[in-house]
Amino acid sequence: MKYTIKEEEGIIIITFQGDLIGATDSLELMDLVNDKINQGFFKSVIDMKDVRYMNSSGIGILITLYTKFKNRNGNAVVANASEQTVKLLTITKLDSVIKIHPSLDEAKKSV
């Protein structure tokens, strides 16, 4: 799992690349996200344009990220998910909790 984090207009953009299958990197990611939240960032877009595959650990990462922001009265949404990822989020009914947007621009406007 590879990721980048950047700040844009008061929003944290987390971009994943490769396979979102969970790893020891996820602990580092959560620490970075906690730091950003403690700095006052309560909105996030999770950009999945470069995600090839996601398993249950990847779903857990999405849920954890979403929960961290919601617990601080913020929001996290998904952008650019592949058709396969959208199907997985629909089957697991996560699409009713975590909003999915077709583009980064739409996602940023929604948070």
Please list the residues that pair with 14 across neighbouring strands: 5, 46
Q: How far is CA 12 from CA 1, 26, 45, 50, in A?
A: 18, 16, 6, 17
The reported pLDDT for the residue numbered 22 is 74
Query: What tokens were used for 100?
Result: 């999915």
> Is the pLDDT score of 25 beyond 80?
no
**Which of 12, 3, 7, 4 lies closest to 74, judged by CA?**
12
pLDDT in tens, 31-49: 999 999 999 999 999 999 9
> Is the pLDDT score of 108 beyond 80?
yes
The reported pLDDT for the residue numbered 94 is 95
The reported pLDDT for the residue numbered 24 is 73
Q: Residue 1: pLDDT band by 50, 70, 90 thresholds?
A: confident
Please list the residues that pair with 77 across neighbouring strands: 45
For the chain, percent of residues with pLDDT exceeding 90: 91
